[in-house]
């Protein structure tokens, strides 16, 4: 049974954190795309109904119909304003999570570098010990033949 070093445990935890932040970022990105699609849809409604109002106004329109168009356009404008605010909040959250993701990724990378350096140091020490053992064996063997 091999025991993990503290660095390996820390790297595993940092990797789990990176995975969690990555998942949150992906979910937020999906929400952002949906919010953007809703924003575009509202913008298209606004343009379409403004065009319909202009078209009907050219031929003459009853007052109540014009009032209905204006009321609907006012409602769409409020919805568009609220959607713009929601998209802005999602953008801010996305920037925050992106910073967290970058920091988590950098932490995992740094821990991996430390683990690799420790492994290289261990391998060098083992190679030196092996070389020393070989030298001692060769010396004893050489001295034994004289």
| Digit-coded pLDDT (tens) for 104-143 | 999 999 999 999 999 999 999 998 999 999 888 888 888 8
Which own/partner pairs from 113-119 qualify as long-range (CB within 8 Å, at least 24 positions apart)? Answer: 114/7, 115/5, 115/7, 115/8, 115/11, 118/5, 118/7
- Average pLDDT over all residues of the chain: 90
Helices (H) and strands (E) in the chain, counts: 2, 0
Query: Pick the residue with more confidence: 144 or 14?
Result: 14
pTM of the model: 0.69
- Give the SS3 label for residue 146: coil
Model confidence band, residue 146 (pLDDT cutoffs 50, 70, 90): low
């Amino acid at each position: 049974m091999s025991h993990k070093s503290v660095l390996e445990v820390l790297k595993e935890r940092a990797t789990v954190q990176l995975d969690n932040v990555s998942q949150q970022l992906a979910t937020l990105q999906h929400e952002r795309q949906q919010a953007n699609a809703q924003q575009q849809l509202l913008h298209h409604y606004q343009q379409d109904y403004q065009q319909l109002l202009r078209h009907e106004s050219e031929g003459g329109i009853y007052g109540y119909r014009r009032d209905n168009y204006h009321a609907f356009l006012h409602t769409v404008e409020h919805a568009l304003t609220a959607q713009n605010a929601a998209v802005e909040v999602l953008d801010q959250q996305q920037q925050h999570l992106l910073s967290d993701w970058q920091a988590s990724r950098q932490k995992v990378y740094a821990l991996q570098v430390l683990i690799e350096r420790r492994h290289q140091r261990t391998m060098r020490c083992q190679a030196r010990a092996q070389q020393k053992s070989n030298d001692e064996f060769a010396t004893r063997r050489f001295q034994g033949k004289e």
